[in-house]
Structure 1
């Protein structure tokens, strides 16, 4: 057999595929570009006769021996396979794909940081607006006001009874009639004031719905803080990848979803108050701290939930109640 004077259509297509995948991986950067540098497909393409403009009109191929041409054909096939494997290991070769290994652009970094800051600020405002009703911080003041209003109502009632007795003794006395009417109005006003303070006190009572809402909000805040701190850390280390966007955007939602689950476990296993199981008897500040930490360390929380679930539903296969022993001599059932 004699050497071929030009590249076959199959080999030419292989060379073009190698060039295309090499350029894609170099453009995407990251581990894929590092793998290309190690494989060095440029040298192989140059040996085949690739021109600077990407054509293969150079007579280099025709000057090669048949054995060398066959060796290069095998190397081209292997190189293409290794580049395909490199692209698969490093995500899509399209540099515009969201799962590409390309670094985040300046615009993307600025948008992500801005979104994180906005989420943190908004959550802080919402949490601050609901903090008193979720912790019962003003319940002590309202209870004191309600006690004062109740005492005033009792005093007014006694004054009314006294005025009524005096007026009943002398029903024709205009002064006593006026005092009775005044005492009656005072009782009505005192009762209205007491009902108003009682309504405020009832509204300030911490219930399960308020606690659960605050736990979810604080879990979302923890997730947003994780999003922002991790983002700026990777920017500072010059390692932020565009493919991490979905993870960062999901962090606040994941924290808000995980926090109620951890709250239920913590309430059941750790915070088991002797005073009862109502929301008023719970260590709310401890629960809210757990909620923030759950969002901030969501991966640790997921691992802990997995551990708890595995422990609850684990089956002990090591213990067997068998009538026959492993040595074939019979079991121990019925023995003293």
Structure 2
């Protein structure tokens, strides 16, 4: 009898999981633009992961003055050359293979984007839940800090942080982008956590003397994950855009590291009329990446938010 009961429970569990997957797939099918965004993100990640293979296919070591790292190696005959069989997207003003640098630039953009989203998201999650749960002076202090950070435009604050640190590196760029990203993320997490702290099961847990850690990790945090995932995913595209903006202004990822924003900087604009490909292709890569993350984030929000599922 016990074996039959377990078998029935297993069948019910399998059907329930299958129904959940089918329902989620139907939700995604109703948002084809989100699937397009997911495809663009997948292609971007795949190209970044296979960058060493692409550089072997698009560069000839015998033509690069003894260099073996084609991200930085220059070739005089490839300066401002247009797309060809040897250089698929042409060469930049220094004679470096543009396709190779764009592919490696995807690595930097993804690294910065995910580092900012996960780093700022983790800090915002901790601060938002702590502020909502304890309330009082903890919440007051946290919200005043958020107000101070929101008083400055994000890009201006990032530029100020880089100027204060007086160091140009990928790590400093991540820090400079993460700090302005905190206020909006904290408010989203705090708002959800506030509603969870007022539920009956959390109030009952407090009544019976459950510890703060148990209430936070067992009830509040799991029920605050959906908006957290949405806001973290949405931050990816804006982080990539901000990194490109800082690099364009000469305050982000330094040369010779291949950054899409750095490829679009003012010195490259001087050659835009002579060799428009050095502007078009990095700009296209940046636009497609940001578009992919943004529409995927919007679709993910619609799927995870019960209020939007019927739209």
Asked if TM exceeds 0.5, the reply is no
Q: Report the TM-score when normalising by structure 1.
A: 0.24
Instruction: Please identify the structure whose Cα radius of gyration is greater.
Output: 1
Q: Report the TM-score when normalising by structure 2.
A: 0.26
Higher relative contact order (CA 8 A, sep 6+): 2
